[in-house]
Structure 1
Amino acid sequence: MTKLLLSLHVLAAIIAVGPVTVAASMFPATLRRAVGDSADGNARAVLQTLHRICRIYAGVGIAVPLFGFATASSLGVLGDAWLITSILLTATAAAVLTFLILPAQDRAVAATTGSAAPPSAPAPPSSARLAMATGIFNLLWATVTVLMIIRPGSTTGA
């Protein structure tokens, strides 16, 4: 059962986190093209698609920690420091995505497509600030991946 749970956890991570990482990383450069001098209309459509990918796969990404907890429980490593650190980093990555990246993408898409943003909505983000938040998100996931492979202090192998 542990091998099945671990397989599902890894597949969920690849299928859910991978698209968000790529789409979020492409968003700032596409935003620069969409608001540039030429105001590329195709870039606006790409922005909407990238944002949709991020939103949908962020929801699908809930499966990653669910399968992760099930796997950790079956391995008996729920109290290990490497796992607790990974959980905290995963929660931080989820918070960066939920509270920084997705709202900034919402505002950017609204600003570039002429959609009406609520009057209380902050100004659209700069592509540099969005790129920084995305870089932090990607770095957090890269760190979690390394911790999952190396498992420092683990007695389960590696």
Structure 2
Amino acid sequence: MTKFLLAVHVLAAIVAIGPVTVAASMFPPTVRRALADPGDRQAVAWVRLLHRICRVYAVIGLTVPVFGFATASSMGVLGDTWLIVSIVLTALAAIALGALVLPRQEALLTGIEATETAAAEPAGRRATARLAMVTGIFNLLWATVTVLMIIRPGSTTGA
């Protein structure tokens, strides 16, 4: 059963977290392109699509910690330091995504849909820079969790 849970956990991480990290990283430059040319409906459509990918896969991504806890429980490693650190970092990544990345994406999307002039570009550039920073932190948290899941420092089950 442990192998099944681990396989589902890893597949869920790849399928759910991967698209969020890529789409979230693509979002700020795509918004800047949309702001640079307010009449470009294709750019706005891309912004909408990237935001939707982030929202949908964030919800799907909830399966990752669910199967992670099930896997850790079946392996008997729930009290291991590397796992506790991973859980804390996962919670921080979820908070960053839910409280910072997605709301800022929503605000920028609303702004470009409502803006018909390039006058909003300087404010949009600052907002996209801040969003890119928060997205980078989100991505770094997930990268750290991934490394911890692979090397499991101090674990007796590690490689």
Do the structures match in fold with TM over 0.5? yes
TM score, norm. by length of structure 1: 0.92
SS of the residue 1:138 aligns to: helix
Contact (CA 8 Å) 2:151, 2:158: kept in 1 or not? no
Aligned to 1:98: 98
| Counterpart amino acid of residue 45 in structure 1 | A
Please state if 1:138 is matched with 2:139.
yes
Over the matched positions of the two proteins, sequence identity in percent amounts to 67
Distance 2:112 2:81 in 1: 44
User: What is the aligned length?
Assistant: 150
Separation (CA, whole Å) in 2 of partners of 1:41 and 1:150? 45
Residue identity in the other structure for 1:137: F
Alignment map for 1:53-72 (pairs within 5 Å): 53-72=53-72
Name 1:120's counterpart in structure 2.
none
Retained in 1: the 8 A contact 2:28–2:128?
A: yes
Taking the aligned partners of 1:54 and 1:71, their CA distance within structure 2 comes to: 26
Task: Provide the aligned C-alpha RMSD in A.
Answer: 1.3
Higher helix residue share: 2
Amino acid of the structure 2 residue aligned with 1:19: P
Q: Deviations over 1:106-154 (max 9, x none)?
A: 1011011129xxxxxxx86611000001100000000000000000000
- Give 1:41 shift: 2.1
Q: How many angstroms apart in 2 are the aligned matches of 1:33 and 1:79?
A: 47
Partner residue, 1:118: none
Superposed displacement of residue 80, structure 1: 0.2
Structure 1 residue 157 displacement after superposition:
2.8
Shift of 1:13: 0.2
SS at the partner of 1:77?
A: coil
Q: Report the secondary structure of 1:141's partner residue.
A: helix
* Equivalent residue runs for 1:25-64 within 5 Å: 25-36=25-36, 38-39=37-38, 40-64=40-64
**TM-score for the superposition, normalised by structure 2:** 0.91
Structure-2 separation of matches of 1:136 and 1:66:
23
Aligned to 1:157: 158
Deviation track 1:48-71 (CA, whole Å, cap 9, x = no partner) reads 000000000000000000000000
3-state DSSP of counterpart to 1:126: helix
Task: List runs of 5+ in structure 1 lacking aligned partners.
Answer: 116-122
**In the alignment, what sits opposite 2:12?**
12
